[in-house]
Amino acid sequence: MPIQNVKGTHDIIGAEADVYENIENLLKHIATVFAFKQVRPPVLEHSEVFVRGVGESSDVVRKEMYTFEDKGGRSLTLRPEFTAGIIRLMVQNKILSNNELPYKAFYLGPVFRYERPQLGRYRQFNQFGVESVGHDSPVNDLEVIVLAYVILQSLGLENVTIKINTLGDEESRDNYRGALKEYFASHLEKMCPDCHSRYELNPLRILDCKVPEDQEIVKGAPKMSNFLSTASKERFAFMLKSLDELQIPYEVDEGLVRGLDYYSETVFEFHYTSKTGNNYGAIGAGGHYDKLVKELGGPDLPGVGFSFGIERLVSVLSDDGLVNIEEDEGVAFYVMPLGIKSQVEALNIANVIRMLGYATDMCFDDVKLSSMFKRAEKKHARYAIILGENEINNNEVIIKDLSTQQQTTIPMDILEDRCIDLMSQEHQCDCGCEHDGDEHEHHHDGECCCGHHHK
């Protein structure tokens, strides 16, 4: 049997890769408009970054990390999320002391989690997200939520529910953990083994347990809102009031605790149900953090961020019919060498045209002209360039318009000019406007009256 891809990974090919790229470009563009700067931390980090950053009580660190010892005996981990690595990057590069704060960064790339693969859940998947670090104003948290909301709107996703909650400050959470310990102590016997270790490490994690019997017990647990400090209560009330003012709809969900340990104060998730009623759960999530920067050796500064799973975005967009799989635009030119001897010259000609910026391919097989035309058709080529030994000897080429079937023989030295002429005719239309190419498309609001492709 041929070698298969690793369980939980997936191949992204051709038109689907274009879909990913279009979505990613839109996300990057919006983050840039919000004045976030791109950062690219490495995929590999010292395991400590995540153990200290994400926290030992999280499932991600306890069960899901791809951790190994390298040949130098270092414990390394393929990033299971971006935030901790980005804070490491900011601290190490003194970004937080050399810039006006908050420092606003966005990221995109693969992350790795050893989870049970199922629909929408991979072991290697892609995340796009932002971190805004170094400013404690709740307005800073709000800006990040607004950005996520604008992204979802721009993608055309209508059925998004923003779930929001507060985990309070450290004092609030200490009090709450105490109350949870007291409550769960008498139920622990009946609960799953994972909840036993959650009880010891961080009883807040029990609220996230997916075992149905445990969920029943969780329903009776004390609520965070009863343990909030005055400052945390006021901060959360401000957040909700401001979201109302900004007309961003939300649902307060007191059960929302998030799976990563660094969060405090406001946390949120974006849930999605497609038009056909498929519930995709969380397509993105994030929140505020207070101790992470200090934990990773930096100054005592807070931050806020979110991340979207690109695979989930692609799934919901496809389900809702919002994915534009662009028709294969094909190549502008297809070069046909007649006979093996003409192939290198054909490659040379193809390269000359490519340097003009027109997509060009060539035939690598010594086959009959008729099958070369079939291949040109499959490639959706506009023009064929035919090159036999005669043409080479005479320093000529034949250009054939594959839609009109007209062909002309031209001297090689005017080939570039002819290609430019032909392609600019493609861009001309009889609507009378003076716009060209892409500009022309914009002028016509994406649709051109002449039926030409203006790419």
Instruction: Kindly tell me which of 173 and 312 has the beta carbon lying closer to ligand AMP.
Output: 312
Check binding of 443 to ligand AMP (CB under 6 A). Answer: no
Instruction: Kindly tell me which of 320 and 441 has the beta carbon lying closer to ligand AMP.
Output: 320
Burial class (CB in 10 A: 0-12, 13-18, 19+), 242: middle
**Shortest distance (Å) from residue 74 CB to ligand AMP:** 25
Q: Do 129 and 107 touch, CB atoms closer than 8 A? A: yes
Instruction: Kindly tell me which of 127 and 266 has the beta carbon lying closer to ligand AMP.
Output: 127
Determine the interface stretch with ligand AMP among 203-211, 278-286, 342-350, 379-387 (rule: CB under 6 A): 278-286
Instruction: Kindly tell me which of 116 and 219 has the beta carbon lying closer to ligand AMP.
Output: 116
DSSP annotation string for 299-367? -S--EEEEEEEHHHHHHHHHHTT----------SEEEEESSGGGHHHHHHHHHHHHHTT--EEE--S--
Closest to 135 (Cα-Cα) out of 261, 364, 300: 300
Check binding of 121 to ligand AMP (CB under 6 A). Answer: yes
Check binding of 307 to ligand AMP (CB under 6 A). Answer: yes
Residues listed for the chain = 455
Instruction: Kindly tell me which of 79 and 104 has the beta carbon lying closer to ligand AMP.
Output: 79
Burial class (CB in 10 A: 0-12, 13-18, 19+), 359: middle
Q: How far apart are the first and last CA of the chain?
A: 42
Check binding of 259 to ligand AMP (CB under 6 A). Answer: yes
Check binding of 81 to ligand AMP (CB under 6 A). Answer: yes
**Shortest distance (Å) from residue 55 CB to ligand AMP:** 13
**Shortest distance (Å) from residue 115 CB to ligand AMP:** 5
**Shortest distance (Å) from residue 281 CB to ligand AMP:** 8
**Shortest distance (Å) from residue 140 CB to ligand AMP:** 19
> What tokens does 291 get?
């101790």
**Shortest distance (Å) from residue 47 CB to ligand AMP:** 17
Check binding of 125 to ligand AMP (CB under 6 A). Answer: yes
Check binding of 113 to ligand AMP (CB under 6 A). Answer: yes
Q: Do 96 and 298 touch, CB atoms closer than 8 A? A: yes
> What tokens does 9 get?
């990974």
Among residues 311, 320, 426, 441, which is the contact residue for ligand AMP, using CB under 6 A?
Answer: 311
Q: Which residue is nearest to ligand AMP (CB)?
A: 309
> What tokens does 139 get?
């307005």
Check binding of 282 to ligand AMP (CB under 6 A). Answer: yes
Site size toward ligand AMP, by CB under 6 A: 18
Cis peptide before 203 (omega within 30 of 0): no
> CB neighbours of 350 closer than 8 A, spacing ≥ 6?
333, 335, 360, 361, 362
> What tokens does 151 get?
């992204």
Q: Do 315 and 273 touch, CB atoms closer than 8 A? A: no
**Shortest distance (Å) from residue 268 CB to ligand AMP:** 10
Closest to 251 (Cα-Cα) out of 271, 227, 232, 235: 271
Among residues 122, 263, 289, 383, which is the contact residue for ligand AMP, using CB under 6 A?
Answer: 122
Determine the interface stretch with ligand AMP among 180-188, 283-291, 374-382, 392-400 (rule: CB under 6 A): 283-291
Check binding of 58 to ligand AMP (CB under 6 A). Answer: no
Binding site residues, ligand AMP, CB under 6 A = 81, 113, 115, 120-122, 125, 127, 259, 282-285, 307-309, 311-312
